[in-house]
Amino acid sequence: MGAVVTVERVLARTPALAVLLPMIQVYATGCLLNMDVVARNAAAPRGLALQLDSAFSGEESTSLHVVLRYPDGSEVASGMDHNCAPPHLSWFPGGVRGDASFTLYHMPLWLFPLPPPEACVLTVEWPWAGIPPEAVPLDGAAIAGAAARSGPVLPP
């Protein structure tokens, strides 16, 4: 079972959109960065759902772009998981829910392997949606601690 690291951060915001990282689910081998995009329906850019879908299809030119920079300066970016060699930062199937006012797009990213137990920097950028690069620190030690707490849910 994955252990949870609570992050509760707004990574970026415009009048129409917010990109959030409420938590990270951590497993022994990797972790899910549970990102959410919240849209104010009345102000959201036309075609938003298609632009979010483009992240899953590999159309990086218009999709939300995420980069994790490790303490040694190396980086892993969303949309670059076709290289086969780890590390990977891959979009994971999410979901959509909402009402007449707001829509929540759940956009998890699978990170493999786990980051080092040191501070890392997560950067989000989405020029299509008017979001310039925004960087926030991530606590690698908290992620490593959560990995130690995670465990199997089925017997071997």
CATH number at residue 55: 2.60.40
Per residue in 39-83, pLDDT (tens digit) is: 888 888 777 777 766 655 555 567 789 999 999 999 999 877 666
User: Where do the H-state alpha helices sit in the chain?
Assistant: 48-57, 140-149
Mean pLDDT of 119-131: 92
The domain containing residue 38 runs over which residues?
A: 3-149
In a domain, 69, yes or no: yes
pLDDT of residue 3: 97
Look at the alpha carbons of 78, 59, 15, 125 in this order and tell me if their dihedral is positive or negative. positive
pLDDT of residue 45: 78
Torsion of CA 134, 81, 5, 144, to 10 degrees: -110
Q: Is the pLDDT of residue 35 over 60?
A: yes
45 vs 86: CA distance, rounded Å: 34
In a domain, 30, yes or no: yes
In a domain, 154, yes or no: no
Q: Report the number of distinct structural domains present in the chain.
A: 1
Per residue in 83-109, pLDDT (tens digit) is: 667 898 988 878 888 888 888 989 899
In a domain, 155, yes or no: no
pTM for the whole thing?
Answer: 0.88
In a domain, 28, yes or no: yes
In a domain, 60, yes or no: yes
In a domain, 156, yes or no: no
37 vs 17: CA distance, rounded Å: 7
Per residue in 1-33, pLDDT (tens digit) is: 899 999 999 999 999 899 999 999 999 999 999
In a domain, 119, yes or no: yes
